[in-house]
């Protein structure tokens, strides 16, 4: 048993944390996050040049990491700095391509950071339908609230089918593909991606017959781990910020951290963050294991835990800060929004609790 | 980062499992699994079996009869013990007094008392709480006045667990009434057969006589029974309270009782299907199961930090709070699971050795008493609110 990260992984985390601390203050972050693009291309370029995306993939996929614990340390660091740049899309789309095989050039460009990719999974009001047409397919329908869709030049798209889902690689400039982009509440951008009679040839397919579910599980599993780790990173930041505030802020002539009502709330927050951290460690550990059911269960448990705890930490952070925690200017308000809204991605607390039960 | 046990630790786990398989009497494990109340002789029987193997005082140094285990080995042993439904070690001599004597006792005291803890010659109980000194333990008022070769003790202790069986009691007493409250306390070892001691049982919420009041009227205690220095007792008391914390989360107990809950939820029906398949009950169970899986890793993270030279201090307060919340939730769900048959109150059915006919499902009679009994978990050993005070001060720096 060992709860220390390897030296390589610790160096990676330190490099990333330092780069973000020096180059990504909340003002920079917010300028990108609430700007039209919903991210900062210069920051993205700088971070990808550090090899941050490569760390999310193994050598076979052109990276230098790729384990559950690599994903964990990277996304914890990203969460701690509230990064909005399109790492999640790179991870999920790249993992899908790596699991399916083929499309090596696209995968290489995703891993190097040259190509921004998005994973288009949740259906919108008009679910995506693929109609067989010759050797290929015609796509119609909408994928909803795809993270950083506007920035992406390629989509990895899933289509629900009887039996096995179909996974397709679709360049954003394919005829009939359109994106309605918008900012999201906590900063960053997403988009509804509409497919209007989009004709795709057979080689758009990712993976072969019967591989679809395994590819989707690989991508979504990595995404669940990443979001859970990101949440823990954000929790660590607001924990420190809130503790600082409890020590500095005075009312009735004493620091408000001297009041037992607030101390006990903060102690509970600490406990639950530690539990969430353990949930992510469990998920990262199971992520690389051979037992598929144990992996899916641990991922569901982690996403459930961070959904529940994320909302608790966000609400307590705002309450313990009082009015200042409600202001746009103060960083913790943006973290609180992220901690709540992360429950709206890839299935919420209830969804994952049900999934955990069904897998039992 | 690697959550698996080393091959050596796995081998140790197998050794421990084999021991429970071979040496734990089925009669005892059945009583524990069913949640029955053990008799004094049951507990003594199990202590003797553990002691024969040298595993009774598993955190004592080898010099005094401990096995020399690491914190991880102790964690494994405690977990396997709970999973095997072994009786719990009665903590007062082994886990509480033993470490204090080893650290602060004189050579004579160690030689006199430690072997008697191991071989069961002395059953110890704890004289800490008083009617006016609960969470504010340092506010205790029982006095000890030195007269020649003896201290004369007057006052009252309460919540004395299993004191009705005890041969000896270790007591916090006030030896300097003029000093600041923490600075006038001493740590005395008192023979329960001394003239002037009276033990009165307190019947608890579940009908059990688990705790007692102990009254002291001019009880004479040899000066040789003072541990360490006069007026330094608070230091020893705090050491005792923070010492044996590897098992404070009770992960093993929770795993064992959750397994039992799963069986009950399969057996019990609701709306024509197993209770375990009822979505609302399944959700309650899944929430606590996830919390427990997280807790297990939190516990191991704390132990790994201790093994790596970190201090086992206030983190154990986190383990205590979360661990007891989980244990209480499981007993609550078990009570719910029996539905209306949790209601019948059959006091005899709670005792070891009863073989009358169950009312309703097997073991249903234990569910509600066990739930009510386990409300104690968040009160004793420093209430969970006191633990939050400790976290605020020691971890959060507030």
How much is the ipTM here?
0.94
The reply to whether A153 touches chain B by the CB within 8 Å rule is: no
Chain B residues within 8 A of A357 when measuring between CB atoms: 282-283, 286
The rounded percent of chain A whose pLDDT value lies above 90 is: 96
B96-153 tens-digit pLDDT: 999 999 999 999 999 999 999 999 999 999 999 999 999 999 999 999 999 999 999 9
User: What are the tokens at A218?
Assistant: 């690989």
Best residue of A225, A265, A275 to probe chain B, by most B CBs closer than 10 Å = A275
Region A280-308: mean pLDDT is 97
**How high is the mean pLDDT of chain A?**
96
State the pLDDT at residue A162.
87
Instruction: Give yes or no for a contact between A247 and B397, defined as CB atoms under 8 angstroms apart.
Output: yes
User: Which CATH class, in words, describes the domain spanning A212-358?
Assistant: mainly alpha
Cα–Cα distance, A206 to A167 (Å, whole number): 5
| Residue B238 DSSP SS3 | helix
Best residue of B262, B392, B397 to probe chain A, by most A CBs closer than 10 Å = B392
For residue B271, what is the DSSP state? T
Alpha helix (H) residue ranges in chain B:
7-23, 26-33, 40-53, 71-83, 91, 98-104, 107-118, 233-243, 251-267, 279-307, 315-337, 364-373, 384-390
- Chain A's closest residue to B8, CA to CA, is A1
Cα–Cα distance, A65 to A52 (Å, whole number): 10
Q: Per-residue pLDDT for chain B (398 aa), expressed as one digit of tens each?
A: 888 889 999 999 999 999 999 999 999 999 999 888 899 999 999 999 999 999 999 989 999 999 999 888 999 999 999 999 999 999 999 999 999 999 999 999 999 999 999 999 999 999 999 999 999 999 999 999 999 999 999 999 999 999 999 999 999 999 999 999 999 999 999 999 999 999 999 999 999 999 999 999 999 999 999 999 999 999 999 888 766 565 788 999 999 999 999 999 999 999 899 999 999 999 999 999 999 999 999 999 988 887 776 655 678 899 999 999 999 999 999 999 999 999 999 999 888 888 888 899 988 999 999 999 999 999 998 899 999 999 999 888 88
CB contact under 8 A, A1 and B392: no
A197-218 tens-digit pLDDT: 999 999 999 999 999 999 999 9
- Chain A's closest residue to B280, CA to CA, is A354
State the pLDDT at residue B362.
85
State the pLDDT at residue B243.
62
> What is Dmax (Cα atoms) for chain A?
78
Chain A residues within 8 A of B296 when measuring between CB atoms: 278
Residues 6+ apart with CB under 8 A from B183: B176, B231, B234
Give me the sheet containing A117-120, strands edge to edge.
A117-120, A154-159, A166-171
CB contact under 8 A, B294 and A243: no
Chain B from 231 to 250: CB within 8 A of any A CB: none
For residue B391, give how far its alpha carbon lies from the nearest alpha carbon of chain A (Å): 6
The reply to whether A268 touches chain B by the CB within 8 Å rule is: yes
Closest C-alpha among B209, B185, B197, B123 to residue B155: B197
Q: In b/e form, how buried is each residue of B93-120, taking b as 16+ CB within 10 angstroms?
A: bbbbbbbbbbebbeeebbebbbebbbeb
| B244 is known as an active-site residue | yes
Residue intervals of chain B classified under CATH 1.20.140.10 are 245-395
The reply to whether B85 touches chain A by the CB within 8 Å rule is: no
State the pLDDT at residue B246.
59
CB contact under 8 A, B282 and A357: yes
Regarding the domain delimited by A118-204, which CATH topology (the fold level of the hierarchy) does it fall under?
Answer: Butyryl-CoA Dehydrogenase, subunit A; domain 2 (2.40.110)
For residue B273, give how far its alpha carbon lies from the nearest alpha carbon of chain A (Å): 16
> Is 2.60.200.20 the CATH number for B123-231?
no
* Sign of the torsion formed by the C-alpha atoms of A314, A320, A321 and A326: positive
The reply to whether A356 touches chain B by the CB within 8 Å rule is: yes
State the pLDDT at residue B355.
83
How far, CA to CA in Å, does B171 sit from each of B129, B144, B163, B175?
A: 9, 10, 12, 12
Catalytic entry in B80, B210, B244, B329: B244
State the pLDDT at residue B309.
63
Best residue of B248, B315, B396 to probe chain A, by most A CBs closer than 10 Å = B396
A289: Cα separation from own chain's centroid: 21
CB contact under 8 A, A247 and B398: yes
Considering the segment(s) A7-116 as one domain, its CATH architecture is: Orthogonal Bundle (1.10)
For residue A244, give how far its alpha carbon lies from the nearest alpha carbon of chain B (Å): 9
For residue A350, give how far its alpha carbon lies from the nearest alpha carbon of chain B (Å): 9
A214-271 tens-digit pLDDT: 999 999 999 999 999 999 999 999 999 999 999 999 999 999 999 999 999 999 999 9
For residue B228, give how far its alpha carbon lies from the nearest alpha carbon of chain A (Å): 35
The reply to whether B6 touches chain A by the CB within 8 Å rule is: yes
Instruction: Give yes or no for a contact between A175 and A116, defined as CB atoms under 8 angstroms apart.
Output: no
Chain A residues within 8 A of B392 when measuring between CB atoms: 257, 260, 263-264, 266-267
Residues 6+ apart with CB under 8 A from B80: B13, B16, B17, B20, B252
The reply to whether A254 touches chain B by the CB within 8 Å rule is: no
> What is the DSSP track for B48-117?
HHHHHHT-SSTTS-GGGT-----HHHHHHHHHHHHHTTPPPPPHIIIIIIHHHHHHHS-HHHHHHHHHHH
User: What are the tokens at A143?
Assistant: 């994928």
User: What are the tokens at B250?
Assistant: 């009770």
pLDDT over 80 (residue A166): yes
Q: In b/e form, how buried is each residue of B251-286, taking b as 16+ CB within 10 angstroms?
A: bbbbbbbbebbeebbeebeeeeeebbebeebbebbb
A302-329 tens-digit pLDDT: 999 999 999 999 999 999 999 999 999 9
Residue intervals of chain B classified under CATH 2.40.110.10 are 123-231
A163: Cα separation from own chain's centroid: 27
For residue B71, give how far its alpha carbon lies from the nearest alpha carbon of chain A (Å): 12
Cα–Cα distance, A282 to B293 (Å, whole number): 8
Q: Which CATH code, of 1.10.357.10, 3.40.50.300, 3.30.870.10, 1.20.140.10, is assigned to B245-395? A: 1.20.140.10
CA atoms within 13 A on the CB side of A137: 21
State the pLDDT at residue B82.
94
Closest C-alpha among B181, B254, B194, B253 to residue B222: B194
Residues 6+ apart with CB under 8 A from A178: A193, A194, A196
For residue B270, what is the DSSP state? E
Cα–Cα distance, A6 to B5 (Å, whole number): 17
* Residue B193 dihedral angles phi and psi, to the nearest 5°: -90, 0
Q: Where are the domains of chain A?
A: 7-116, 118-204, 212-358
Beta-carbon contacts below 8 Å between A and B: 113
Chain A residues within 8 A of B72 when measuring between CB atoms: 1
Region A187-206: mean pLDDT is 97
State the pLDDT at residue B3.
86
State the pLDDT at residue B312.
57
Instruction: Give yes or no for a contact between B362 and B347, defined as CB atoms under 8 angstroms apart.
Output: no
State the pLDDT at residue B310.
60
State the pLDDT at residue B352.
83
The reply to whether A281 touches chain B by the CB within 8 Å rule is: yes
CB contact under 8 A, B290 and A301: yes
The reply to whether B284 touches chain A by the CB within 8 Å rule is: no
For residue B300, give how far its alpha carbon lies from the nearest alpha carbon of chain A (Å): 9
State the pLDDT at residue B381.
86
CB contact under 8 A, B1 and A285: yes
Among candidates B3, B290, B298 on the partner chain, residue whose Cβ is nearest the Cβ of A1: B3
Following CA atoms A21, A26, A30, A32 in sequence, which dihedral angle do they give, to the nearest 10 degrees? -20
């Amino acid at each position: 048993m060992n709860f220390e990260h390897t030296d390589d992984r610790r160096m990676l985390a330190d490099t990333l944390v330092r780069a973000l601390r020096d180059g990504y203050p909340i003002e920079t972050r917010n300028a990108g996050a609430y700007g039209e693009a919903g991210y900062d291309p210069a920051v993205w370029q700088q971070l990808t040049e550090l090899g941050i995306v490569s760390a999310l993939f193994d050598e076979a996929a052109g990276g230098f990491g790729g384990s559950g614990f690599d994903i964990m340390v990277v996304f914890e660091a990203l969460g701690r700095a509230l990064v909005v740049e399109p790492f999640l899309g790179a991870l999920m789309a790249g993992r899908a391509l790596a699991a399916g095989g083929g499309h090596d050039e696209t995968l290489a460009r995703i891993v190097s950071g040259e190509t921004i990719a998005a994973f288009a999974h949740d259906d919108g009001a008009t679910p995506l339908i693929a109609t067989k047409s010759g050797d290929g397919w015609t796509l119609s329908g909408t994928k909803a609230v795809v993270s950083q869709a506007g920035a992406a030049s390629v989509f990895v798209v899933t289509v629900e089918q009887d039996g096995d889902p179909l996974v397709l690689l679709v360049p954003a400039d394919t005829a009939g593909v359109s994106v309605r982009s918008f900012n999201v509440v906590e900063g960053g951008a997403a988009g509804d991606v509409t497919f209007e009679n989009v004709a795709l040839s057979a080689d758009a397919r990712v993976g072969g017959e019967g591989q679809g579910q395994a590819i989707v599980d690989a991508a979504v599993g990595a995404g669940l781990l990443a979001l859970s780790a990101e949440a823990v990173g954000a929790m660590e930041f607001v924990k420190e910020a809130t503790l600082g505030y409890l020590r500095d802020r005075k009312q009735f002539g004493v620091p408000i951290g001297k009041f037992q009502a607030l101390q006990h709330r903060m102690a509970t927050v600490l406990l639950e963050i530690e539990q969430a951290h353990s949930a992510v460690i469990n998920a990262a550990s199971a992520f690389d294991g051979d037992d598929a059911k144990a992996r899916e269960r641990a991922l569901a448990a982690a996403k459930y835990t961070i959904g529940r705890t994320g909302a608790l930490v966000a609400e307590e952070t705002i309450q313990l800060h009082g009015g200042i925690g409600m202001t746009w200017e103060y960083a913790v308000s943006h973290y609180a929004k992220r901690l709540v809204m992360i429950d709206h991605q890839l299935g919420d607390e209830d969804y994952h609790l049900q999934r955990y039960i069904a897998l039992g | 980062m690697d959550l698996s046990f080393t091959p050596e630790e796995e081998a140790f786990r197998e050794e421990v499992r084999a021991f429970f398989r071979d040496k734990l009497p089925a009669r005892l494990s059945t009583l524990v699994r069913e949640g029955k109340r053990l008799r004094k002789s049951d507990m003594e029987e199990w202590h003797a079996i553990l002691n024969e193997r040298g595993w009774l005082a598993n955190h004592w140094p080898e010099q005094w009869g401990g096995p020399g285990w690491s914190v991880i080995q102790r964690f494994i042993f405690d977990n396997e013990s709970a999973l095997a439904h072994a009786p719990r070690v009665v903590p007062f001599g082994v886990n509480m007094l033993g470490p204090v004597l080893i650290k602060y006792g004189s050579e004579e005291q160690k030689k006199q008392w430690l072997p008697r803890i191991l071989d069961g010659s002395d059953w110890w109980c704890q004289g800490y709480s008083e009617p006016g000194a609960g969470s504010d333990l340092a506010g205790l008022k029982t006095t000890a006045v030195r007269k020649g070769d003896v201290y004369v003790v007057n006052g009252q202790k309460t919540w004395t667990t299993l004191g009705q069986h005890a041969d000896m009691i270790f007591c916090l007493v006030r030896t300097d009434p003029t000093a600041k409250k923490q600075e006038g306390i001493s740590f005395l070892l008192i023979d329960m057969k001394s003239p002037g001691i009276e033990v009165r049982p307190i019947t608890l919420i579940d009908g059990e006589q688990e705790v007692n009041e102990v009254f002291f009227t001019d009880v004479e205690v040899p000066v040789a029974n003072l541990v360490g220095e006069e007026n330094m007792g608070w230091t020893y008391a705090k050491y005792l309270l923070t010492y044996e914390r590897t098992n404070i989360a009770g992960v093993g107990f929770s795993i064992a009782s959750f397994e039992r809950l799963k069986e009950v939820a399969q057996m019990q029906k609701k709306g024509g299907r197993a209770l375990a398949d009822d979505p609302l009950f399944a959700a309650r169970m899944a929430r606590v199961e996830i919390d427990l899986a997280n807790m297990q890793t939190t516990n191991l993270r704390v132990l790994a930090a201790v093994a790596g030279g970190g201090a086992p201090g206030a983190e154990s307060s986190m383990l205590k709070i979360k661990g007891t919340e989980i244990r209480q939730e499981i007993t609550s769900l078990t009570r719910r699971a029996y539905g209306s048959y949790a209601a019948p109150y059959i006091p005899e059915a709670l005792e070891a050795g009863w073989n009358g006919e169950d009312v309703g499902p097997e073991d249903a009679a234990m569910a509600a008493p066990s739930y009510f009994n386990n409300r104690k978990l968040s009160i004793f050993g420093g209430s969970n609110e006191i633990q939050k005070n400790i976290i605020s001060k020691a971890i959060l720096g507030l």
